[in-house]
């Protein structure tokens, strides 16, 4: 079975006082689920022991003259075991392409971390009936050779559902995850074991129906991961699924 993963992406939110929420998340994380938080990199070193951590993005190079950037090795050194790659906000804000994302995923693996590769279609692409074409192109272009269920998780995050309160319907998520599972099985020897996460306005109130779907192995949560009282019920719904 793919691992169950409840991942929180804090994005550009959180000062040192956020440690209290992280402590509550670490203390309340249920058995049987990888509960992980991707805080801003400034907070990685301030997070409590025992909380699984991820970075949000990295530069593909190991080190060098890249002012303001962070290497995968730096994130790992600061305590991250996972790192996001290809989040749509990075693609939009920083113009990251699939080739850029593939280089980051390789760097994440080299640093000994597992990558959470984010893919997703825009509303315009969905309305033009191009959803699966777009997702397959992102998956093929951004996932390098060498991917396994141990070093890679794929997060489906429809761009139109991120931070909008507009969650994809179970039917929409089911159709996409089913197709992604097939694509991963075709490409990877252990593609059936790769965890597939859904992200986009996941909340305690909609988590259980998403986790009931065949190929939804967890969630990548933005806004509702900032507070333990919002995030823990999602992790518990996953544990119970």
Catalytic residue positions? Answer: 87, 157
Tokens of 158: 């429809």
- Applying CB under 6 A, does 223 fall inside the site for ligand 13P? yes
- Applying CB under 6 A, does 9 fall inside the site for ligand 13P? yes
Cα gap 11→31, rounded to integer Å: 26
Residue 9's beta-bridge partner residues?
A: 38
- Applying CB under 6 A, does 163 fall inside the site for ligand 13P? yes
- Window of 122-130, 175-183, 215-223, 227-235 that interacts with ligand 13P by CB under 6 A: 215-223
φ and ψ at residue 165, rounded to 5 degrees = 75, 0
User: What radius of gyration do the chain's Cα atoms show?
Assistant: 16
CB of 137 to ligand 13P, least distance (A): 20
| Nearest CB to ligand 13P, comparing residues 4 and 87 | 87
Cα gap 219→198, rounded to integer Å: 5
CB of 54 to ligand 13P, least distance (A): 11
CB of 62 to ligand 13P, least distance (A): 26
- Window of 22-30, 197-205, 206-214, 232-240 that interacts with ligand 13P by CB under 6 A: 197-205
Question: Among all residues, whose Cβ is closest to ligand 13P?
Answer: 222
Cα-Cα-Cα-Cα dihedral sign, residues 102, 86, 240, 48 = positive
Out of 200, 215, 232, 236, point to the residue binding ligand 13P (CB under 6 A): 200
DSSP string, 19-68: HHHHHHHHHHPPTTSEEEEE--GGGGGGSPTT-EEEES--BSSSSSS-TT
Q: Binding residues for ligand 13P, per CB under 6 A? A: 9, 87, 157, 162-163, 199-202, 220-224
């Amino acid at each position: 079975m793919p691992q169950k993963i409840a991942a929180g992406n804090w994005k550009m939110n959180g000062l040192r006082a956020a440690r209290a929420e992280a402590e509550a998340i670490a203390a309340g994380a249920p058995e049987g689920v990888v509960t992980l938080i991707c805080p801003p990199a400034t907070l990685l070193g301030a997070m409590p022991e025992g909380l699984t951590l991820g970075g949000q993005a990295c530069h593909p190079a190991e080190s060098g003259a890249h002012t303001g950037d962070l290497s995968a090795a730096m994130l790992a050194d600061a305590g991250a075991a996972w790192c996001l790659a290809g989040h749509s906000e990075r693609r939009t804000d920083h113009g990251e392409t699939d080739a850029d994302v593939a280089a980051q995923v390789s760097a994440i693996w080299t640093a000994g971390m597992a990558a959470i590769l984010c893919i997703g279609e825009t509303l315009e692409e969905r309305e033009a009936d191009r959803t699966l074409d777009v997702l397959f192109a992102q998956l093929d272009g951004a996932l390098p050779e060498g991917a396994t269920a141990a070093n890679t998780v794929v997060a489906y995050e429809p761009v139109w559902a991120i931070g909008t309160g507009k969650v994809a319907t179970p039917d929409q998520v089911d159709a996409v995850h089913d197709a992604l599972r097939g694509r991963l099985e075709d490409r990877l020897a252990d593609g059936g074991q790769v965890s597939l996460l859904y992200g986009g306005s996941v909340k305690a109130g909609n988590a259980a129906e998403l986790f009931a779907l065949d190929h939804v192995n967890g969630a990548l949560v933005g806004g509702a991961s900032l507070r333990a009282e919002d995030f823990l019920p999602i992790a518990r719904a996953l544990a119970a699924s």
